[in-house]
Structure 1
C-alpha cells in the first residue's frame, strides 16, 4: 500500500492546479489520471484575472499569456445584428488582465509538464480509480493501473475528475439542478483570416443564435444553436461544418478544424462539496453553461481555496470549521456563477416571433438608465467571490473604515519597490502562506505582537508610501507602494493598521494594535496554532 498526504483524482487543469499547489506547499501528492497525455481539445476559452494570479504562483502565467488574447470584452447583438450592449470588465486591481481568451491545451500542457517534474508528485497516468473508502483517519483509493491493482492510503482526497466524476458517485453525492433543453454545436478553427476585435460576440438573431470568440494566433471558436429536428451527426459532417463556418473562414481546410462537437449544457451543483476527508473541485462539484466563461475559473478558485486549507490540516492547525468553510465559500459562489451563466444563455437563445423583440426592447430601455447601463457595460453581473462570512473576522470599531471593505475580498496588488530598487507586483513578496501587512506610520509596527503570527508562519510586510524612510529592520520586509489606491490609503492613515492576508490572497481581517486580541481569537476558530501536526 502506498501512503500519501493527498490523492488527487483527475489531471485536467483543476486537478493539476490542486496537485501543484499542495505539492508546492510541502505535501506528498499522488495524482491519478486515466489519460496518458494532456488533452488537445480546446474546451474552456475564457480566463479571469484571478486564474492568472494562481498560475503566477506556479510560475506559468507568463507562458500562458504569450499564447492568449489579453484584455477582452463581450458584445451582445439582437435581431438584424443590431448591437444591444458592449461589456468589458473594469481594470483589474490584482495585477492581471480582468478577462482574456486562452487556449486550454496550452494551459494543460504547461501544468502537466510541471506536475511530471515535481519531486513531491507521484503522477499515475493511464490509471483509473475503482473504489474509494473514507474513514475518520484517511481515505483508501483502489486503482487500476497499467502494472495492476494498486491501493493508495491518503490523509485527504480531492476529486477533480470532471462532470462525470467517479469520485462524486463513489462518495454518494448527488448533483442538483437541471439540464438545458437546447443543443449547441461548437467548432474550433485555426488559421482564420484577418484580425478580430478583442470581443466575444453573442448573436441572438432570433433564428439561429451563435457565438463567436476570437483567440490568439488565428484561433476562432464558433458555436451555433441547433434546432430540435436537426441530427447531431449530420450537423457535424464535414460538408455541414464547412457551410456553417464559410462566412468566417471561407477556405477552411480539414486540418484547420480542431474540433466539431454537439453539447448540451448543464446547470447543476453538487449537493455537498465534502464527505469527511474527501472533497470535490471543478466540474465534479459544479456544471455550468458556457455563456459567461466561468466554469474553469470557478474550478481554479476551488483548487486554490481548498489547497491551502488542506495544507493547514496537514500542519495540524486546521479546525473542522476551516475545512467546512471550503464548501461554504466555494459552493455559494459556484451556485451564483451557474445562475449568471444560465441567465446569459437565456438572453442569447431567445427565438421565435416575440421573445427576441421583447428582449431587444427591454435591453434598450434598461440601457437608458445610467446605473443599469454602467452595471452591464462593466460586466458587474460577473462578481468575484466575497468570503466575508467565511474565513474572515468582522471589522472592529477602531479599524480604519477605508480598509473595512477589503475583508473577504481578493487583496489588491499594487506595484511595489523593494530595498534593492527593483519593482514588482506585491504578490512576489507574499510567499505561499499567511501574510501580515502593516500600513501607516510606525517603524516598530511588528514589535510586541501576539505569537500567533509566528506560529502560523505569517510573513511580515510593511507597506510604505513614496518618500518614507525605511527602518532597516531585518525582521520584516519593507516595500514602497508606487501606484494605486493602496498607496493613497497608506499615506492617509494616522496610525498603524494591520491587514491579515490568507494564503489564497484573500483578506481575512483588518485591525489596529488595540484590536489584535479579538482578531487572533476569531482566527483561532479556523486556524489553531495549538493543535499537533499531522505530518
Structure 2
C-alpha cells in the first residue's frame, strides 16, 4: 500500500485507473490473486454521494469474495421488488426477481457511499495493492511489451510531480467521462435521452415503507421512489423542457416537490444530494484497445431505471480480472483475453436496451400514450406466461457466456447446472461440520467439481497444470470426508447418478463445462484454446479474506 506522493519504483502487472466501486473491485480481485497491481485515483477520499442504489445477487457474490458483503448487507434493504403505477396512481404491476440460487438476496437497495468506504478501506489496508491517491492520469502510451501511464500528484500551485507508471496491462475504470477511453482511442456508440431528471436523496425518512422501488407514471410528472434503511429515501422527478436545472435544485423548489406529498416538512439538512441528470444510452465500440481494457461506466452508460449500471460494472471487473491473472501467469491465450468483450459487451448492450425500455414506460406523459400503456399492461398481465415474465422480472436476463470460455455439454446433463451460466451456490457441510455457502470452498482460481461417484476419480493432468482445485460435492445425508462437502439440500447433486460427472468452474463462478470421464478430452482440448496448461509463473494465491465487520 502506498499513499499519494510516494514513488513507484517497479514495473507492475496491472494498472487500474479509477477507484470508484468498479475500479476498487477490480484492483482488489487482482491483488487477492497475487497480481502486482497499482490503483490510481485522483481523489484522496472515497466518494460520499449516493449514486447507484440497486445491487443484485451476483454482485454480492463478488463482494463476499472480497470480504465486505456482510458489512454492506447490514446497511441495506434486502430482498426488494418493484411496483409500477399508472394513471391515477393505480398499481399496474408488482414485480420481484425469482428467488436467487446464488446464495444472496436477488435484489437489494444499498447505499453507494457505504460500499465505496468498505472497498476503499480494504484497498488502503491491502499489503499487496499499491494505492496511489491524489494521482491523476495525464497520458497513456502502449506497445507490444506493455503500457505506460503518466500521472501527476499534488497541487499545481504547490509543485505537482509528474511520473510514469509502467505495467503489462491497463484497466480503465474511470467512469463515464473516462480519460483512459479517450486516450486509447475508443468511441462510444449510442444516444442521450432528451428527458432530464432530478434526483433528491433524503435523510431521516419518518415513514416505514414497503421494500419496493416505486415507478409512478402518472402522466403528469413521472417520479421514482426508492426506500432504504436507517431513514434513507430517494426520490427522482422528471423535469419539463421549460424548467431550469439550477433553479430546480434550490431548497425552495426541492421543498415544493417533496412537501406535502412525501413529507410534512423538509429542512436543508434533510437533503443529502439534489442533482439533475440526463440518462445516456451508450456502449463503447470495443472494450479493448491493445493492452488496455474498459470496465464499468467507461465501457457502457445506461439509464438508471433497471438498476443495472453498477451491477454490469462489477460483472465486468469479475470477468476481466481472472483473465488478466491468467495472462500474467502465462496461461492465457489471446482468445481468452478477447473473450472479455465477447462475453461482456453483448450483455452490457442488452442491459442498456432494457433500461431504456423501462424508462420509456415510466416517462410517458401524453394522455393517449399513457392510457394505451395502462390498458396494454393490464391486458397482457391476464396471460399467465406474460404475467410470470413481468412479475418475476425475467426481462432482466442474467449473462450467458456459452459463446465464450465454455465447452458445450454433449450427452451429459445436471439438472441445475448450465454451461455458460453462473454456478448455483448451495449450502454445504464440510468435514468439520461447518455449514457455509459453496463459494467458501472454491478459492481464487479454477475448480473442478465432482458430482456423484466415489470421491477422487482420476482426471486429466490439465486441471492440476492450470491450478484447478478439486472438490467432491456429495448428496445430503452422507458424512463429508477430506476433499468433499455434503449439500444440506440437494441442488447440484439433484438427479446425479452413480457415475461421476464433472463441472469445470471458472474463477468467476461461471460454468465452463459439464462432462463425464468419456468426454473429458474433448473438454480439455476446448478449454486449452483459451487457457494454456504450460504456466511460466506462479502467483502467491492468498486465502479468501475473512468477512469485514464494521
Is residue 448–residue 470 contact of structure 2 (8 Å, CA) maintained in 1? yes
Q: Secondary structure at the match of 1:26?
A: coil
Give the whole-Å Cα distance in 1 for the aligned partners of 2:67 and 2:252. Answer: 43
Verify: 1:293 aligned to 2:299, yes or no. Answer: no
Q: CA RMSD in A?
A: 1.2
User: Residue 145 of structure 1: CA displacement?
Assistant: 1.2
- Note if contact 2:95-2:393 (Cα within 8 Å) is conserved in structure 1: yes
Q: Does 1:20 align with 2:28?
A: yes
Residue 542 (structure 2) aligns with: none
Does 2:517 align with 1:505? no
Q: Provide, for residues 497-526 of structure 1, a one-character-per-residue CA deviation record: whole Å limited to 9, x for no partner.
A: 000000000000000011111100110000
The answer to whether the 8 A contact 1:2-1:151 is kept is no
Q: Is this contact kept in 2: 1:198–1:214, CA < 8 A?
A: yes
Matched residue, 2:424? 412
**CA 1:175–1:482 in structure 2 vs 1: closer, same or farther (change >3 Å)?**
same
1:161 aligns with 2:174: yes
Deviation at 1:443, TM superposition (A): 3.3
**In the alignment, what sits opposite 1:457?**
467
Q: Which deviations, in whole Å up to 9, do the C-alpha atoms of 1:313-369 show, x marking residues without a partner?
A: 001100000000001100010000000000000000001221100100111111011
1:443 to 452, 455, 458: 455
Q: 1:244 to 1:464 in 2, by over 3 A?
A: same
Residues 476, 489 of structure 2: 8 Å contact kept: no
Q: CA deviation at 1:24?
A: 0.3
Taking the TM superposition and a 5 Å limit, the aligned residue runs for 1:344-383 are 344-383=358-397
* Cα contact 1:456–1:529 (8 A) shared by 2: yes
1:525 to 525, 529, 532: 529
Instruction: Tell me the residue number matched to 1:127.
Output: 135
The answer to whether 1:322 aligns with 2:336 is: yes
Q: TM-score when scaled to structure 1?
A: 0.96
Residue of structure 1 equivalent to 2:484: 478
- Structure 1 distance, partners of 2:365, 2:10, is 56
1:534 to partner: Cα distance: 9.1
**127-136 or 62-71: which moved more?**
127-136
Distance 1:484 1:462 in 2: 14
SS at match of 1:296: helix
Counterpart CA distance in 2 for 1:378 and 1:450 is 41
2:17·2:40 contact (CA, 8 Å) conserved in 1? yes
**Maintained 8 Å contact 1:76/1:85:** yes
Q: How big is each residue's C-alpha offset from its partner over 1:440-499, in whole Å with a ceiling of 9 and x where there is no partner?
A: 122342x3x2111111111101011123355x5x5xx20001114323233xx2311000
Work out whether 1:195 is the aligned partner of 2:205.
no
The 1:484/1:99 distance shift into structure 2, 3 A limit, reads farther
Q: Offset at 1:127?
A: 1.1
Contact 1:192 / 1:248 at 8 angstroms: preserved in 2?
no
CA distance in 2, matches of 1:91, 1:219: 25
The CA deviation at 1:308 is 0.3
CA distance in 1, matches of 2:341, 2:240: 38
Report the counterpart of residue 82 of structure 2 in structure 1. 74
Partner of 2:351: 337
CA displacement at 1:253 relative to structure 2? 2.0
Match of 1:258 among 255, 272, 289: 272
Q: Which moved more, 1:247-256 or 1:429-438?
A: 247-256
Q: What is the CA–CA distance in structure 2 between the aligned matches of 1:444 and 1:357, rounded to whole Å? A: 63
**CA–CA distance in 2 between the matches of 1:113 and 1:469?**
40
| Distance change (3 Å), C-alpha of 1:416 and 1:129 | same
- Would the aligned equivalents of 2:13 and 2:35 in 1 still touch at CA under 8 Å? yes
CA offsets 1:213-243 (integer angstroms, 9 cap, x no match): 0011110000000000011111111011011
Give, in whole Å, the separation in 1 of the partners of 2:31 and 2:333.
21
| 2:476–2:490 Cα contact (<8 Å) kept | no
Give the equivalent residue in structure 2 for 1:238: 251
TM-score (norm 2): 0.94
Alpha-carbon distance between aligned partners in 2 of 1:358 and 1:222, rounded to the nearest angstrom: 26
| CA deviation vs aligned residue, 1:396-437 (integer Å, no higher than 9, x gap) | 23x13636x510000001110001111111001011110000
C-alpha deviation, 1:179, in angstroms: 0.2
CA distance in 1, matches of 2:309, 2:345: 13
Paired with 1:27 and 1:200, the residues of 2 have a C-alpha distance of 39
Give the Cα separation in 2 of the matches to 1:519 and 1:61.
34
2-side partners of 1:74 and 1:135: how far apart?
A: 48
Q: Distance in 1 between matches of 2:501 and 2:134?
A: 52
Q: Deviation at 1:2?
A: 4.1
How far, CA to CA, are the matches of 2:195 and 2:435 in structure 1?
Answer: 50
The answer as to 2:443 corresponding to 1:431 is yes
SS at match of 2:415: helix
CA contact (8 A) 1:314 1:534 kept: no
Structure 1 counterpart of 2:544: none
CA distance in 2, matches of 1:194, 1:469: 49
Structure 1 spans left out of the alignment, 5+ residues: none
Query: Are the structure 2 counterparts of residues 503 and 395 from structure 1 closer, same or farther at C-alpha, using a change threshold of 3 Å?
Result: same
Determine the C-alpha separation between the residues in 1 that align with 2:413 and 2:500.
10
Distance of 1:72 and 1:484 partners within structure 2: 26
More moved, 427-436 vs 477-486: 477-486
Q: Secondary structure at the match of 1:262?
A: strand
